[in-house]
Amino acid sequence: MGIEANDDTWLDDTRRSYDTVAASYADQVRDLLDRTPEERAVLALFADLVRSRGGGPVADVGCGPGRITAHLHRLGVDAFGIDLSPGMVEAARRDHPGLRFELGSMTDLDVSDGSVAGLVAWYSLIHIPDTQIGTVFEHFHRVLRPGGPLLIGFHVGDTSKLKTEGYGGHPMKVHVHRRRHSQMADWLDEAGFTVDEHRTLTSAESTLGGILLARRRPDRR
């Protein structure tokens, strides 16, 4: 078992940390997809699934500086980004001025019920405490259309650690949680999702990365 973040402070700590590193983080990850062909293939599959169901808006939740949002847009998806950090939203709007980016938290997602055709959480669940994952997945289920695809990227493992220094050497205070596919699948099943595909890979994204593709069931059963 790993360290559990303090439920009273982790959200503010995460926001402040990513505000601090926003500019250097954006610089470091801007071209990362150029070195991650397997991730590009998964994102292309997700985009195909959205288009095959008639298309519609897609939420990139925890979008950071917007690189995944922009990539999905280039794949023909009507993607928009949501992030907790004002600094990250500012970086996303600067780098991708033609796209929509909003402030928001995945723990209290301000998106209308059944309004999105797909949802991506690309390595953005890694700071969410175990105690809050169920709430986050309930929001994902609420905002997705029935049958809509959900794509998740995460770090694989059993441990959590406190990250105190981040991109560009700036101070941070965030817990990084590594999880097993089986645990993620159980949480998703409880929230009303069916997992269709999962894989583990090593790339520039993560030394041991998990990719999970699920779809929203019409109800919670």
Q: Is residue 2 part of a domain?
A: no
Specify whether the CB–CB gap between 131 and 4 falls below 8 A: yes
- The answer to whether residue 27 is domain-embedded is yes
Phi, psi of 154 (to 5 degrees): -155, 165
Report if residue 211 sits inside a domain. yes
**pLDDT given for residue 35 in this prediction:** 92
pLDDT in tens, 120-167: 999 999 999 999 999 999 999 999 999 999 999 999 999 999 988 877
Distance CA 127, CA 175 (A): 6
The strand ranges marked E within the chain are 57-61, 78-83, 101-103, 118-122, 149-155, 160-165, 171-177, 193-201, 209-216
Q: How many residues does the chain have?
A: 221
Calculate mean pLDDT across residues 192-217. 94
Range of the domain at 179: 10-216
Range 18-35 average pLDDT: 92
1 lies in a domain?
A: no
Instruction: Say which CATH number the domain at 35 has.
Output: 3.40.50.150
In a domain, 3, yes or no: no
Give the number of other CB atoms < 10 A from CB of residue 178: 17
Count the domains in the chain. Answer: 1
Answer yes or no: is 186 within a domain.
yes
Residue 3: what pLDDT?
A: 42
Quote the pLDDT of residue 50.
98
pLDDT at residue 182 is higher than 60? yes
pTM for this predicted structure: 0.93
- Burial state string for 92-106 with b = 16 or more CB within 10 A and e = fewer than 16: bbebbeebbbeebbb
Domain membership of residue 156 (yes or no) is yes
For residue 169, name the pLDDT band (cuts at 50, 70, 90). confident
| Whole-number pLDDT of residue 165 | 82
Classify residue 67 by burial, with Cβ atoms within 10 Å: 0-12, 13-18, 19+: buried
Mean pLDDT, range 21-36, rounded to an integer: 92
Asked if the structure places residue 174 within a domain, the reply is yes
